[in-house]
Chain A
Amino acid sequence: MAIVEIRDLQKTYAGGFEALKPLTLDIEEGEILALLGPNGAGKTTLISALCGLVSPTGGSATIGGHDVVDDYRAARRLIGLVPQEIALDQFSKVIDAVRFTRGLFGLPRDEARIEAILKDLSLWDKRDARIVTLSGGMKRRVLIAKALSHEPRVLFLDEPTAGVDVELRRDMWEIVAKLKEDGVTIILTTHYIEEAEAIADRVGVIDKGQLLLVEDKDALMSRMGSKELHISLRTAITEVPEVLAKYALELSDGGQLLVYSYDTQGEATGITALLADLAKAGLKMTDLQTKQSSLEEIFVSLVGESAA
């Protein structure tokens, strides 16, 4: 059984805005699912509806088999939420803020546990500092520490690395990887494709309140991926020879590089024929290289299709 089961979940605001069209999705225990989409796509609305920040207007969802509305206590006990905005009581101490969340989730005090979390997040030295004195990156760590304080099974990270520096982003990814090792299911939203590509097991693409697709990341990339063959030439040419016209080659790098685009899913890639024809045309190659298109390109083409 999937740890998160979403069935036709829907959110229409009072003004008639459909933030979330009926959406169905299963999230397996222990996986990292990245929800990709442009700003305003409905990613945060989906998370908010699951976590209790927004009342769904249709459909249902369960977490660990508990309905998020009817059995909200049991469902929410399993959830940790790291919001997009830095929302903290600026005047409280780091450790008090973390203790507070643990208590709010109904768990008894456990100083050893809190010490471990703060140490993992490099916050232990700052435990008695007022939150207002911390840097932006540190505050984000406090938000994560709070979300982990009650040992959640499912962690929602809403844009965890929006506006953070490269170093902290790497740290964040390490934290996520460590949580995955502990068996925590992670759902993160992002509009950084790089992030989804780096850490996700599966990728879901949301746009205009609809889930356009959800697929295993590697499968998605190979299915959607068109590839390019880069052929470096010994001597520069000024134009593509007539005999190679049918391959729609692009000439670049001052006439020393030929770029051939092909579809890995096609019946024939045409590579063998191309290489033979290159020899016929008398061109000498110095290097061959293939390039996979990135998730970003896949994403742009998907969202572009949905807009059309």
Chain B
Amino acid sequence: MNWQAVWSIYVFEMTRFFRTFVQSLISPVISTSLYFVVFGTAIGSRIQQVDGISYAAFIVPGLIMLSVMTQSLSNASFGIYFPKFMGTTYELLSAPVNFVEIVLGYVGAAATKALFIGLVILATSALFVDVQIAHPLAMLAFLVLTCLSFSLFGFIIGIWAGNFEQLQLIPLLVVTPLVFLGGAFYSISMLPPIWQSISFFNPVVYLISGFRWSFYGAADVPVGLSLFAIACFTAICLVIIGLIFKTGYKLKP
């Protein structure tokens, strides 16, 4: 393993993050605060409790997940799309590195940024509501796994995208709806039976449910199933990335 290379990519990417540190943090913090004002205070005051938790507190895990997933995707997809756009991938391809090292560097940095933002949102939430964390270690594990798996997914999008529109396409058309329909703002049990059944095909349901369990001990689906789902998603992304580098797809003619 060329760990020096992994570290170099990681540091280079993190430098880019800290260059735009304020923008990177301000926007998720403001949008989270807005969600709290709208859902927590305005609408939440009319919803008594969900699963025995105040509505404002109930949406905290969902809000964190929403930001972490979109941030992971955009960080990782942009992180590898940018060198492609600038033409600097020549350097990665001509260096003594293999794809595992490249992925570790880029995905590691993207996941770190998303994790950081997730923790900042958690801290922001604590200003608005009384956040309880029943299983802190499990909470952290879910958070890290989500950052990693969605960063892997973002990496794939970044390799695939041929222009900036395509870079936005999947996050906008697929991921945002899945997250909103994934129980970020409600419990699946509140849906009519037919929609409940449909929801179980949405992978995001498992992530949010597991994450919420780590806060409040209550879940829509068993925690084991949530872990299994996230493991599968990560594995699928890894296989696709392996194939990308093996075939040189969009990177190496």
Contacts and interface: CB of A to CB of B under 8 A. Distances in A.
Interface of A: 13-14, 51-55, 72-74, 76-77, 79, 81, 83, 85, 87-92, 96, 99-108, 146
Contact of A53 (B4, B90, B97): B90
Interface in B5-31: 5, 7-9, 11-12, 15-16, 19
A104 B88 contact: no
B87 interface: yes
B100 to A, nearest CB: 13
A83 B8 contact: no
B82 interface: yes
A88 B94 CA distance: 15
B83 interface: yes
A157 to B, nearest CB: 13
A87 B95 CA distance: 15
Contact of A90 (B11, B86, B90): B86
B147 to A, nearest CB: 24
Give me the 3 closest cross-chain CB pairs, A-B, nearest first.
A103-B8, A87-B87, A73-B96
Contacts of A146: 91
B52 interface: no
B94 A89 contact: no
Contact of B96 (A77, A81, A88): A77
A54 B92 CA distance: 12
A99 B118 CA distance: 30
Given A54-B252, A55-B248, A83 B90 contact: yes
A101 B88 CA distance: 11
A277 B11 CA distance: 79
A39 to B, nearest CB: 18
A104 B95 contact: yes
A85 B95 contact: no
Query: How large, as a class, is the contact surface on chain B?
Result: 20 to 34
6 contacts: A51-B93, A51-B94, A53-B252, A89-B83, A92-B16, A100-B12
B65 to A, nearest CB: 30
Contacts of A101: 91, 95
Nearest to B90: A83
B2 interface: yes
Contacts of B91: 81, 87, 101, 104, 146
A89 B7 contact: no
Nearest to B97: A104
B253 interface: yes
Given A96-B12, A106-B4, 17 more contacts: A14-B253, A54-B252, A55-B253, A73-B96, A73-B98, A81-B94, A87-B86, A87-B90, A87-B91, A88-B86, A90-B86, A99-B8, A100-B9, A102-B8, A103-B4, A104-B97, A106-B97
Interface string B235-253: 0000000000000100011
Nearest to B105: A104
A122 to B, nearest CB: 22
B19 A91 contact: yes
B155 to A, nearest CB: 18
B12 A92 contact: yes
Interface string B81-125: 011001110111111111000000000000000000000000000
**Considering residues B12, B94, B96, B252, which has the most beta carbons from chain A within 10 angstroms of its beta carbon?**
B94
Contacts of B95: 76, 101, 104-105
Nearest to B88: A87
Interface string B135-152: 000000000000000000
A176 to B, nearest CB: 19
Nearest to B247: A55
A146 B90 CA distance: 12
Nearest to A51: B94
Nearest to A107: B4
A54 B5 contact: no
A106 B2 contact: yes
Contacts of A107: 4
Contacts of B90: 53, 81, 83, 87
A75 to B, nearest CB: 8
B85 to A, nearest CB: 10
Given A103-B7, A104-B97, A105-B5, A88 B88 contact: yes
Contacts of B88: 87-89
Contacts of B248: 55
A5 to B, nearest CB: 19
A258 B88 CA distance: 56
